[in-house]
Amino acid sequence: MRPIKSAWTDDDDERLKALVAQDVLIVRAAAALKRSTSATRVCARIIGCPFPALRLVRRKWADGKDNLWRGS
């Protein structure tokens, strides 16, 4: 039996907007909202504040100075 999906409230939408504005990863935002990553991504798109594409997040991390895999 599938669990019943709970509806997104206005409070959830505001928390999601705040998390996107803080550049939180989608995995952490989904955990904070107790939702799946796909449901979080879809809701963010619907309310008009989508998460950046994963390739852009990875590129930003790879070019950052905290990347231990980059040589000195």
pTM tops 0.75: no
The full set of domain ranges for the chain reads: 10-63
Burial pattern 23-61, b for ≥16 Cβ within 10 A else e, equals ebebeebbeebebeeeebbebbeeeeeebeeeeeeeeee
Per the structure block, which two tokens stand in for 1?
């039996």
Could you give the residue ranges of the DSSP H alpha helices within 1-72? 10-21, 26-33, 37-47, 54-63
Our CA angle for 71, 61, 68, nearest 5°, is: 30
Per residue in 11-69, pLDDT tens?
999 999 999 999 888 999 999 999 999 999 999 999 999 988 877 777 776 776 766 66
The pLDDT of residue 72: 52
Check residue 61 and give its pLDDT.
67
